[in-house]
Amino acid sequence: MRYNQEFARRISAALKSFPEKFEEKKMFGGIAYLYKGKMTVGIVKDDLMVRVVEAKMPAALQKPHVRPMDFTKRPMKEFVFVSPEGCTTEQVLHYYIELGLEHAKSKLKN
């Protein structure tokens, strides 16, 4: 499965503005960006995939161009897809990266 290479470059560039270190990994037929082994955001075809803490899922799903991640034909817990129209600015892209990073940090053991 192919994924949007230009979008991957945008995400990689945006991640450099964060102090945390991210790892790229091929997943779901696309690419995912992990923080300390935990998935944050990624790309599946042309969509941004974002991990979201459960408490913020209702608000995230109210955002324009956001839908439950239905990669398996069923919604996946704590995952959303954002269509390309929902990530046209770097400010919005950073917002979704921050959501994904928050989720990853919430899953790390203290």
Could you read off the pLDDT of 37-73 as tens digits, one per residue? 999 999 999 999 999 999 999 999 999 999 999 877 7
Q: What is the pTM of this model?
A: 0.92
Please report, for the domain that includes residue 37, its CATH number. 3.30.1460.30
pLDDT score for 1: 57
pLDDT score for 73: 78
Structural domain boundaries, residue 28: 5-107
Q: What percent of the chain has pLDDT over 90?
A: 82
Average pLDDT across the chain, whole number: 93
Over residues 2-8, mean pLDDT: 88
* Interatomic CA distance for residues 109 and 81, integer angstroms: 26
Work out whether strand 47-51 and strand 38-44 pair parallel, antiparallel, or are unpaired: antiparallel
Domains contained in the chain, number = 1
CA dist 54 → 51, 60, 97, 99 (Å): 9, 10, 16, 11
